[in-house]
Structure 1
Amino acid sequence: MTTTNTEIPALDGNGMIPAYVARPEGTPRGAIIVQQEIFGVDAGIRKKADGWASKGYLAVAPDTFWRQTPGVELDADKPEEFQKAIEYMSNHDFDLGIRDIEAVIHWIRREAGVPKVGLVGYCMGGRVAYMTAARTDIDASVGYYGVMIDQMLNEKHAIARPLMLHVPTADGFVPPEAQKAIHEGLDDHPKVILHDYEGLDHGFAAEIGSRRDEAGATLADERTTAFFAEHIG
Protein backbone atom coordinates (compact mmCIF):
# COMPACT_ATOMS: atom_id res chain seq x y z
CA MET A 1 0.00 0.00 0.00
CA THR A 2 1.41 3.37 -0.96
CA THR A 3 0.63 6.50 1.03
CA THR A 4 2.52 8.96 -1.18
CA ASN A 5 0.67 11.37 -3.44
CA THR A 6 3.51 13.15 -5.28
CA GLU A 7 6.68 12.27 -7.17
CA ILE A 8 9.81 14.43 -7.10
CA PRO A 9 12.61 13.97 -9.66
CA ALA A 10 15.88 12.67 -8.23
CA LEU A 11 18.87 14.99 -8.77
CA ASP A 12 20.57 12.66 -11.25
CA GLY A 13 17.36 12.29 -13.27
CA ASN A 14 17.38 8.59 -12.41
CA GLY A 15 13.96 7.93 -10.98
CA MET A 16 11.28 9.72 -9.00
CA ILE A 17 11.19 10.11 -5.21
CA PRO A 18 7.71 9.30 -3.86
CA ALA A 19 6.53 11.82 -1.27
CA TYR A 20 3.50 12.57 0.85
CA VAL A 21 2.65 16.26 0.39
CA ALA A 22 0.21 18.14 2.62
CA ARG A 23 -0.75 21.60 1.41
CA PRO A 24 -2.00 24.47 3.56
CA GLU A 25 -4.90 26.72 2.73
CA GLY A 26 -3.69 29.80 0.89
CA THR A 27 -0.09 30.78 0.28
CA PRO A 28 2.39 28.74 2.37
CA ARG A 29 4.34 30.68 5.00
CA GLY A 30 7.24 28.34 4.27
CA ALA A 31 7.88 24.64 3.76
CA ILE A 32 8.80 21.84 6.15
CA ILE A 33 10.34 18.55 5.03
CA VAL A 34 9.22 15.81 7.43
CA GLN A 35 11.97 13.19 7.47
CA GLN A 36 10.69 9.76 8.44
CA GLU A 37 11.95 7.36 11.08
CA ILE A 38 13.02 3.86 10.05
CA PHE A 39 9.37 2.79 9.79
CA GLY A 40 8.49 4.56 6.55
CA VAL A 41 6.03 7.32 5.69
CA ASP A 42 3.53 5.81 8.09
CA ALA A 43 0.39 7.21 9.71
CA GLY A 44 2.48 8.99 12.33
CA ILE A 45 4.67 10.79 9.78
CA ARG A 46 1.62 11.71 7.70
CA LYS A 47 0.04 13.13 10.86
CA LYS A 48 3.18 15.21 11.46
CA ALA A 49 2.97 16.54 7.88
CA ASP A 50 -0.73 17.31 8.18
CA GLY A 51 0.01 19.18 11.40
CA TRP A 52 2.52 21.44 9.68
CA ALA A 53 0.06 22.07 6.84
CA SER A 54 -2.57 23.10 9.40
CA LYS A 55 -0.05 25.67 10.69
CA GLY A 56 0.29 27.14 7.20
CA TYR A 57 3.34 25.31 5.87
CA LEU A 58 3.75 23.22 2.76
CA ALA A 59 4.75 19.84 4.25
CA VAL A 60 6.68 17.22 2.28
CA ALA A 61 7.49 13.75 3.63
CA PRO A 62 9.76 11.91 1.14
CA ASP A 63 9.90 8.12 1.06
CA THR A 64 13.49 7.53 2.18
CA PHE A 65 13.69 3.84 1.27
CA TRP A 66 12.20 4.22 -2.23
CA ARG A 67 15.29 2.74 -3.88
CA GLN A 68 14.99 -0.40 -1.70
CA THR A 69 11.20 -0.85 -1.45
CA PRO A 70 8.76 2.00 -2.12
CA GLY A 71 5.86 2.42 0.29
CA VAL A 72 7.38 0.76 3.38
CA GLU A 73 5.18 1.02 6.48
CA LEU A 74 6.27 -0.88 9.58
CA ASP A 75 4.97 -1.07 13.16
CA ALA A 76 7.47 -0.05 15.86
CA ASP A 77 5.56 -2.10 18.46
CA LYS A 78 5.98 -5.40 16.56
CA PRO A 79 9.49 -6.84 17.16
CA GLU A 80 9.77 -8.53 13.77
CA GLU A 81 8.73 -5.33 11.97
CA PHE A 82 11.09 -3.27 14.13
CA GLN A 83 13.90 -5.59 13.08
CA LYS A 84 12.92 -5.23 9.42
CA ALA A 85 13.04 -1.44 9.82
CA ILE A 86 16.56 -1.71 11.27
CA GLU A 87 17.57 -3.70 8.18
CA TYR A 88 16.20 -1.00 5.87
CA MET A 89 18.23 1.61 7.74
CA SER A 90 21.37 -0.56 7.62
CA ASN A 91 21.02 -0.89 3.85
CA HIS A 92 20.28 2.81 3.31
CA ASP A 93 22.87 4.96 1.56
CA PHE A 94 22.80 8.10 3.72
CA ASP A 95 25.03 10.09 1.37
CA LEU A 96 22.70 9.39 -1.54
CA GLY A 97 19.77 10.09 0.77
CA ILE A 98 21.05 13.64 1.36
CA ARG A 99 21.11 14.10 -2.41
CA ASP A 100 17.45 13.12 -2.36
CA ILE A 101 16.81 15.74 0.33
CA GLU A 102 18.56 18.26 -1.94
CA ALA A 103 16.21 17.23 -4.73
CA VAL A 104 13.23 17.83 -2.45
CA ILE A 105 14.58 21.27 -1.46
CA HIS A 106 15.01 22.18 -5.13
CA TRP A 107 11.49 20.97 -5.95
CA ILE A 108 10.00 23.00 -3.09
CA ARG A 109 11.79 26.18 -4.11
CA ARG A 110 11.50 25.85 -7.89
CA GLU A 111 8.34 23.87 -8.59
CA ALA A 112 6.26 24.68 -5.51
CA GLY A 113 7.59 28.24 -5.37
CA VAL A 114 8.27 28.28 -1.62
CA PRO A 115 11.66 29.89 -0.90
CA LYS A 116 12.12 29.16 2.82
CA VAL A 117 12.56 25.48 3.70
CA GLY A 118 13.07 23.68 7.01
CA LEU A 119 13.49 20.00 7.83
CA VAL A 120 12.41 18.07 10.89
CA GLY A 121 13.58 14.48 11.30
CA TYR A 122 13.08 11.68 13.79
CA CYS A 123 15.40 8.83 14.83
CA MET A 124 17.29 8.05 11.62
CA GLY A 125 15.72 11.30 10.43
CA GLY A 126 17.41 13.12 13.31
CA ARG A 127 20.74 12.08 11.86
CA VAL A 128 19.49 13.22 8.44
CA ALA A 129 18.57 16.60 9.97
CA TYR A 130 22.16 17.02 11.17
CA MET A 131 23.58 15.95 7.80
CA THR A 132 21.18 18.27 5.97
CA ALA A 133 22.29 21.20 8.13
CA ALA A 134 25.93 20.42 7.33
CA ARG A 135 25.62 19.57 3.64
CA THR A 136 22.81 21.64 2.12
CA ASP A 137 21.56 25.23 2.04
CA ILE A 138 18.37 24.42 3.97
CA ASP A 139 17.20 27.38 6.07
CA ALA A 140 16.76 25.53 9.39
CA SER A 141 16.72 21.95 10.67
CA VAL A 142 15.44 20.08 13.74
CA GLY A 143 16.44 16.58 14.82
CA TYR A 144 14.62 14.43 17.36
CA TYR A 145 16.70 11.68 19.03
CA GLY A 146 19.14 11.57 16.14
CA VAL A 147 21.37 8.51 15.97
CA MET A 148 25.11 8.45 15.20
CA ILE A 149 25.52 12.25 15.34
CA ASP A 150 28.47 11.72 17.69
CA GLN A 151 30.25 10.00 14.79
CA MET A 152 29.73 12.96 12.44
CA LEU A 153 31.02 15.84 14.56
CA ASN A 154 33.82 16.38 12.04
CA GLU A 155 31.16 17.99 9.81
CA LYS A 156 30.00 20.55 12.40
CA HIS A 157 32.12 23.37 10.90
CA ALA A 158 29.89 23.26 7.81
CA ILE A 159 26.68 24.01 9.72
CA ALA A 160 25.86 27.58 8.65
CA ARG A 161 22.09 27.67 9.31
CA PRO A 162 20.18 27.09 12.57
CA LEU A 163 19.94 23.52 13.88
CA MET A 164 18.01 22.33 16.94
CA LEU A 165 18.53 18.86 18.42
CA HIS A 166 16.22 17.19 20.95
CA VAL A 167 18.17 14.71 23.10
CA PRO A 168 16.38 12.29 25.50
CA THR A 169 18.84 11.33 28.22
CA ALA A 170 17.68 7.69 28.47
CA ASP A 171 17.88 7.04 24.71
CA GLY A 172 18.61 3.34 24.24
CA PHE A 173 20.13 4.01 20.82
CA VAL A 174 22.30 6.98 21.87
CA PRO A 175 24.24 5.96 25.00
CA PRO A 176 25.52 8.47 27.60
CA GLU A 177 29.02 8.61 26.13
CA ALA A 178 27.56 9.51 22.71
CA GLN A 179 25.39 12.21 24.29
CA LYS A 180 28.47 13.55 26.12
CA ALA A 181 30.37 13.75 22.83
CA ILE A 182 27.46 15.56 21.16
CA HIS A 183 27.31 18.13 23.95
CA GLU A 184 31.08 18.62 24.01
CA GLY A 185 31.15 18.98 20.25
CA LEU A 186 28.13 21.24 19.77
CA ASP A 187 27.33 23.16 22.97
CA ASP A 188 29.44 26.13 21.90
CA HIS A 189 28.41 26.05 18.21
CA PRO A 190 26.76 29.39 17.37
CA LYS A 191 24.16 27.81 15.09
CA VAL A 192 23.20 24.78 17.21
CA ILE A 193 20.71 24.54 20.08
CA LEU A 194 20.57 21.36 22.19
CA HIS A 195 17.66 20.43 24.45
CA ASP A 196 17.94 17.51 26.90
CA TYR A 197 14.85 15.57 28.07
CA GLU A 198 15.63 13.98 31.40
CA GLY A 199 14.69 10.30 31.67
CA LEU A 200 12.97 10.09 28.29
CA ASP A 201 13.73 7.40 25.72
CA HIS A 202 14.10 7.20 21.97
CA GLY A 203 10.86 7.81 20.08
CA PHE A 204 9.24 9.93 22.79
CA ALA A 205 7.60 12.25 20.22
CA ALA A 206 6.13 9.52 17.99
CA GLU A 207 2.53 10.22 17.00
CA ILE A 208 1.46 6.57 17.08
CA GLY A 209 2.37 3.52 19.16
CA SER A 210 3.59 2.98 22.71
CA ARG A 211 6.80 5.01 22.64
CA ARG A 212 5.20 8.45 23.01
CA ASP A 213 5.64 10.56 26.14
CA GLU A 214 2.91 13.19 25.99
CA ALA A 215 4.58 15.86 28.17
CA GLY A 216 7.98 15.47 26.50
CA ALA A 217 6.49 15.44 22.99
CA THR A 218 4.42 18.54 23.70
CA LEU A 219 7.43 20.47 25.03
CA ALA A 220 9.71 19.44 22.17
CA ASP A 221 7.06 20.21 19.55
CA GLU A 222 6.40 23.65 21.06
CA ARG A 223 10.11 24.40 20.83
CA THR A 224 10.23 23.16 17.23
CA THR A 225 7.19 25.22 16.25
CA ALA A 226 8.71 28.39 17.73
CA PHE A 227 12.07 27.63 16.06
CA PHE A 228 10.52 27.29 12.61
CA ALA A 229 8.32 30.36 13.15
CA GLU A 230 11.52 32.33 13.78
CA HIS A 231 13.65 30.93 10.96
CA ILE A 232 11.17 29.84 8.26
CA GLY A 233 8.23 32.17 8.84
Structure 2
Amino acid sequence: MSATNTEIPALDGEGRIPAYIARPDAESSRAIIVIPEIFGVNGGIRQKVDDWAALGYLAIAPDIFWRFAPGVELDPDVEPEFQQALGYFGQYDADDGVKDIEATIRWLRDQGVDKVGCVGFCLGGRLAYMAAARTDIDASVGYYGVMIDTMLNESHAISNPLMLHIPTADHFVGPEAQQKIHEALDPHPKVTLHDYPGLDHGFAATSGNRRDAEGAGQADARTRAFFAEALA
Protein backbone atom coordinates (compact mmCIF):
# COMPACT_ATOMS: atom_id res chain seq x y z
CA MET A 1 0.00 0.00 0.00
CA SER A 2 1.15 3.53 -0.74
CA ALA A 3 -0.37 6.78 0.49
CA THR A 4 0.04 10.41 -0.45
CA ASN A 5 -1.72 13.75 -0.70
CA THR A 6 -3.25 14.81 -4.00
CA GLU A 7 -5.71 17.31 -5.47
CA ILE A 8 -8.95 16.75 -7.36
CA PRO A 9 -10.51 19.24 -9.79
CA ALA A 10 -13.69 20.64 -8.27
CA LEU A 11 -16.85 20.91 -10.32
CA ASP A 12 -17.50 24.02 -12.40
CA GLY A 13 -13.84 25.10 -12.32
CA GLU A 14 -14.24 26.14 -8.70
CA GLY A 15 -10.74 25.15 -7.67
CA ARG A 16 -8.90 22.04 -6.54
CA ILE A 17 -9.92 19.82 -3.64
CA PRO A 18 -7.06 18.54 -1.45
CA ALA A 19 -7.36 14.84 -0.64
CA TYR A 20 -5.52 12.02 1.06
CA ILE A 21 -5.28 8.89 -1.09
CA ALA A 22 -4.04 5.36 -0.43
CA ARG A 23 -3.48 2.84 -3.20
CA PRO A 24 -3.49 -0.92 -2.69
CA ASP A 25 -0.51 -3.01 -3.71
CA ALA A 26 -2.38 -4.38 -6.73
CA GLU A 27 -4.40 -2.40 -9.24
CA SER A 28 -8.06 -2.15 -8.24
CA SER A 29 -11.24 -1.33 -10.13
CA ARG A 30 -13.06 -0.59 -6.86
CA ALA A 31 -12.76 2.57 -4.78
CA ILE A 32 -14.00 3.88 -1.44
CA ILE A 33 -14.45 7.58 -0.70
CA VAL A 34 -14.04 8.21 3.04
CA ILE A 35 -16.02 11.33 3.95
CA PRO A 36 -14.67 13.00 7.11
CA GLU A 37 -16.44 14.13 10.23
CA ILE A 38 -16.33 17.78 11.25
CA PHE A 39 -12.71 17.34 12.33
CA GLY A 40 -11.11 17.35 8.90
CA VAL A 41 -8.84 14.75 7.33
CA ASN A 42 -7.15 13.96 10.62
CA GLY A 43 -5.22 10.91 11.73
CA GLY A 44 -8.36 8.87 12.35
CA ILE A 45 -9.71 9.50 8.85
CA ARG A 46 -6.34 8.75 7.27
CA GLN A 47 -6.30 5.46 9.18
CA LYS A 48 -9.68 4.55 7.76
CA VAL A 49 -8.39 5.32 4.24
CA ASP A 50 -5.33 3.16 4.84
CA ASP A 51 -7.50 0.33 6.15
CA TRP A 52 -9.59 0.29 2.98
CA ALA A 53 -6.49 0.29 0.82
CA ALA A 54 -5.15 -2.66 2.83
CA LEU A 55 -8.34 -4.50 1.84
CA GLY A 56 -7.61 -3.91 -1.85
CA TYR A 57 -9.62 -0.75 -2.56
CA LEU A 58 -8.35 2.52 -3.94
CA ALA A 59 -9.30 4.79 -1.05
CA ILE A 60 -9.50 8.56 -0.80
CA ALA A 61 -10.63 11.21 1.70
CA PRO A 62 -11.43 14.64 0.22
CA ASP A 63 -10.96 17.70 2.41
CA ILE A 64 -14.58 18.81 2.76
CA PHE A 65 -13.59 22.09 4.47
CA TRP A 66 -11.21 23.17 1.70
CA ARG A 67 -13.18 26.29 0.83
CA PHE A 68 -12.68 28.01 4.20
CA ALA A 69 -10.34 25.89 6.37
CA PRO A 70 -8.08 23.87 4.06
CA GLY A 71 -5.90 21.30 5.75
CA VAL A 72 -7.48 21.64 9.18
CA GLU A 73 -7.03 18.64 11.49
CA LEU A 74 -8.88 18.65 14.80
CA ASP A 75 -9.04 16.32 17.81
CA PRO A 76 -12.59 15.69 19.10
CA ASP A 77 -11.19 14.90 22.56
CA VAL A 78 -9.73 18.42 22.92
CA GLU A 79 -12.61 20.71 23.91
CA PRO A 80 -11.43 23.91 22.15
CA GLU A 81 -10.87 21.94 18.95
CA PHE A 82 -14.28 20.28 19.31
CA GLN A 83 -15.88 23.72 19.58
CA GLN A 84 -13.89 24.90 16.57
CA ALA A 85 -15.24 21.93 14.61
CA LEU A 86 -18.82 22.80 15.59
CA GLY A 87 -18.20 26.28 14.23
CA TYR A 88 -17.05 24.83 10.92
CA PHE A 89 -20.16 22.65 10.82
CA GLY A 90 -22.31 25.76 11.16
CA GLN A 91 -20.40 27.41 8.34
CA TYR A 92 -20.50 24.41 6.01
CA ASP A 93 -22.82 24.11 3.01
CA ALA A 94 -23.73 20.46 2.52
CA ASP A 95 -24.85 21.14 -1.05
CA ASP A 96 -21.24 22.10 -1.82
CA GLY A 97 -20.19 18.88 -0.11
CA VAL A 98 -22.23 16.73 -2.47
CA LYS A 99 -20.63 18.53 -5.39
CA ASP A 100 -17.23 17.62 -3.96
CA ILE A 101 -18.29 13.97 -3.65
CA GLU A 102 -19.48 14.08 -7.25
CA ALA A 103 -16.13 15.56 -8.30
CA THR A 104 -14.34 12.76 -6.46
CA ILE A 105 -16.51 10.12 -8.14
CA ARG A 106 -15.71 11.56 -11.57
CA TRP A 107 -12.00 11.73 -10.78
CA LEU A 108 -11.96 8.10 -9.65
CA ARG A 109 -13.77 6.96 -12.77
CA ASP A 110 -11.16 8.82 -14.82
CA GLN A 111 -8.57 6.75 -12.94
CA GLY A 112 -10.14 3.60 -14.36
CA VAL A 113 -12.33 2.69 -11.39
CA ASP A 114 -15.50 0.78 -12.26
CA LYS A 115 -17.27 0.72 -8.90
CA VAL A 116 -17.25 3.55 -6.34
CA GLY A 117 -18.58 3.47 -2.80
CA CYS A 118 -18.53 6.08 -0.05
CA VAL A 119 -18.50 5.83 3.71
CA GLY A 120 -19.04 8.89 5.87
CA PHE A 121 -19.14 9.77 9.54
CA CYS A 122 -21.28 12.41 11.33
CA LEU A 123 -21.46 15.24 8.77
CA GLY A 124 -19.89 12.76 6.37
CA GLY A 125 -22.72 10.36 7.17
CA ARG A 126 -25.18 12.99 6.07
CA LEU A 127 -23.18 13.51 2.88
CA ALA A 128 -23.18 9.75 2.26
CA TYR A 129 -26.99 9.82 2.39
CA MET A 130 -27.09 12.85 0.10
CA ALA A 131 -24.67 11.19 -2.33
CA ALA A 132 -26.95 8.15 -2.47
CA ALA A 133 -29.87 10.41 -3.37
CA ARG A 134 -28.10 12.87 -5.68
CA THR A 135 -25.26 11.04 -7.45
CA ASP A 136 -24.71 7.79 -9.33
CA ILE A 137 -22.43 6.36 -6.63
CA ASP A 138 -22.67 2.57 -6.56
CA ALA A 139 -23.06 2.15 -2.78
CA SER A 140 -23.04 4.35 0.32
CA VAL A 141 -22.64 3.89 4.06
CA GLY A 142 -23.32 6.48 6.74
CA TYR A 143 -22.29 6.26 10.37
CA TYR A 144 -24.33 8.40 12.78
CA GLY A 145 -25.29 10.82 10.02
CA VAL A 146 -26.73 14.10 11.25
CA MET A 147 -29.83 15.86 9.89
CA ILE A 148 -30.85 12.95 7.66
CA ASP A 149 -34.32 13.22 9.20
CA THR A 150 -34.65 16.66 7.56
CA MET A 151 -33.91 15.27 4.07
CA LEU A 152 -36.10 12.20 3.91
CA ASN A 153 -38.07 13.75 1.05
CA GLU A 154 -35.06 12.88 -1.14
CA SER A 155 -35.17 9.16 -0.35
CA HIS A 156 -37.24 8.34 -3.44
CA ALA A 157 -34.15 9.12 -5.55
CA ILE A 158 -31.97 6.46 -3.89
CA SER A 159 -31.43 3.81 -6.56
CA ASN A 160 -28.26 2.08 -5.31
CA PRO A 161 -27.60 0.36 -1.95
CA LEU A 162 -27.36 2.52 1.17
CA MET A 163 -26.55 1.37 4.71
CA LEU A 164 -26.92 3.56 7.80
CA HIS A 165 -25.48 2.83 11.24
CA ILE A 166 -27.62 4.42 13.98
CA PRO A 167 -26.49 4.52 17.64
CA THR A 168 -29.66 4.77 19.70
CA ALA A 169 -28.14 7.06 22.35
CA ASP A 170 -26.81 9.55 19.78
CA HIS A 171 -26.98 12.94 21.53
CA PHE A 172 -26.88 14.72 18.15
CA VAL A 173 -29.62 12.60 16.54
CA GLY A 174 -32.39 12.09 19.08
CA PRO A 175 -35.11 9.42 19.34
CA GLU A 176 -37.66 11.44 17.35
CA ALA A 177 -35.23 11.90 14.46
CA GLN A 178 -34.30 8.23 14.58
CA GLN A 179 -37.98 7.26 14.48
CA LYS A 180 -38.54 9.42 11.40
CA ILE A 181 -35.56 7.80 9.68
CA HIS A 182 -36.86 4.31 10.41
CA GLU A 183 -40.41 5.11 9.34
CA ALA A 184 -39.23 6.58 6.03
CA LEU A 185 -36.39 4.21 5.18
CA ASP A 186 -37.24 0.81 6.66
CA PRO A 187 -39.61 0.10 3.73
CA HIS A 188 -37.08 1.29 1.12
CA PRO A 189 -35.79 -1.69 -0.89
CA LYS A 190 -32.32 -0.18 -1.33
CA VAL A 191 -31.76 0.90 2.29
CA THR A 192 -30.50 -1.12 5.26
CA LEU A 193 -30.58 0.35 8.78
CA HIS A 194 -28.67 -1.01 11.77
CA ASP A 195 -29.34 0.18 15.32
CA TYR A 196 -26.68 0.06 18.06
CA PRO A 197 -28.49 0.09 21.42
CA GLY A 198 -26.98 2.37 24.02
CA LEU A 199 -24.14 3.64 21.84
CA ASP A 200 -23.48 7.32 21.22
CA HIS A 201 -22.31 9.49 18.36
CA GLY A 202 -18.75 8.74 17.27
CA PHE A 203 -18.70 5.15 18.52
CA ALA A 204 -16.80 3.96 15.42
CA ALA A 205 -13.91 6.44 15.72
CA THR A 206 -10.57 4.72 15.21
CA SER A 207 -9.38 5.85 18.66
CA GLY A 208 -10.15 8.28 21.47
CA ASN A 209 -12.81 8.69 24.12
CA ARG A 210 -15.78 8.22 21.81
CA ARG A 211 -14.81 4.79 20.48
CA ASP A 212 -16.71 1.68 21.50
CA ALA A 213 -14.57 -1.21 20.31
CA GLU A 214 -17.34 -3.81 20.23
CA GLY A 215 -19.82 -1.58 18.43
CA ALA A 216 -17.21 -0.31 16.01
CA GLY A 217 -16.13 -3.84 15.21
CA GLN A 218 -19.69 -4.93 14.48
CA ALA A 219 -20.48 -1.89 12.32
CA ASP A 220 -17.20 -2.07 10.41
CA ALA A 221 -17.69 -5.79 9.70
CA ARG A 222 -21.15 -5.03 8.32
CA THR A 223 -19.71 -2.24 6.19
CA ARG A 224 -16.97 -4.45 4.77
CA ALA A 225 -19.46 -7.16 3.85
CA PHE A 226 -21.83 -4.57 2.35
CA PHE A 227 -19.17 -3.13 0.03
CA ALA A 228 -17.81 -6.57 -0.87
CA GLU A 229 -21.25 -7.40 -2.28
CA ALA A 230 -22.38 -4.01 -3.59
CA LEU A 231 -19.11 -3.21 -5.37
CA ALA A 232 -18.44 -6.71 -6.70
TM range (shorter): over 0.9
| Number of the residue aligned with 1:56 | 56
Alignment of 1:10-159 (within 5 A): 10-110=10-110, 112-159=111-158
Partner of 1:202: 201
Structure 1 residue 78, shift from structure 2 partner? 1.2
Cα pair 1:29 1:56 within 8 Å, conserved: no
Contact 1:36–1:125 under 8 Å retained in 2: yes
**Corresponding residue pairs, total:** 230
Residue 216 of structure 1 is matched in structure 2 by 215
8 Å Cα contact 1:22-1:49 kept in structure 2: yes
User: Structure 1 residue 96: deviation in Å?
Assistant: 1.2
Separation in structure 1 between the aligned mates of residue 37 and residue 27 of structure 2, nearest angstrom: 28
After superposition, the C-alpha distances for 1:137-157 in whole angstroms (9 at most, x for unaligned) are 000000000000000000000
CA deviation profile, 1:145-171 (whole Å, cap 9, x unmatched): 000000000000000000000000000
Task: Name the SS of the counterpart of 2:201 in structure 1.
Answer: coil
- Unpaired segments of 5 or more residues in structure 2? none
Aligned to 1:231: 230
Q: Distance in 2 between matches of 1:232 and 1:89?
A: 31
Q: In the alignment, what sits opposite 2:189?
A: 190
> Aligned-pair distance for 1:209?
1.3
Q: With the length of structure 1 as denominator, give the TM-score of the two structures.
A: 0.97
Whole-angstrom distance in 1 between the partners of 2:124 and 2:69: 18
Q: Is the 8 A contact 1:43 1:208 kept in 2?
A: no
Supply the distance in 2 between the matched residues of 1:87 and 1:71 (Cα, whole angstroms): 16
- Which amino acid in structure 2 is aligned with residue 160 of structure 1? S
> SS at 1:189's partner residue?
coil
Give distance in 2, aligned partners of 1:215 and 1:196: 14
Residue segments in structure 1 that go unaligned for 5+ positions in a row: none
The residue identity in structure 2 corresponding to 1:16 is R
Identity across the alignment (%): 68
Which amino acid is the alignment partner of residue 106 of structure 1?
A: R
Q: What CA distance in whole angstroms lies between the structure 2 residues aligned with 1:208 and 1:221?
A: 14
Q: How far 1:80 moved relative to its partner?
A: 1.2
- Aligned match of 2:7: 7
Structure-1 separation of matches of 2:197 and 2:180? 17
Q: TM-score by structure 2 length?
A: 0.97
Aligned residue in 2 for 1:160:
159
Do the aligned partners of 2:30 and 2:115 also contact (CA within 8 Å) in 1?
A: yes
- The farther-off stretch of 35-44 and 74-83 is 74-83
* Deviation digits for residues 77-101 of structure 1 (CA, Å, limit 9, x no counterpart): 1111111101111111111111111
- State the shift of 1:208 in Å: 2.2
Contact in 1 for aligned 2:4/2:22 (Cα 8 Å) = no
CA RMSD of aligned residues (A): 1.0
SS at match of 1:217: helix
Per-residue CA deviations over 1:27-69 (Å, capped at 9, x if unaligned) read 1140000000000000000000000000000001000000011
Aligned to 2:217, what secondary structure does the other structure show? helix
Counterpart contact for 2:21–2:61, Cα < 8 Å: yes
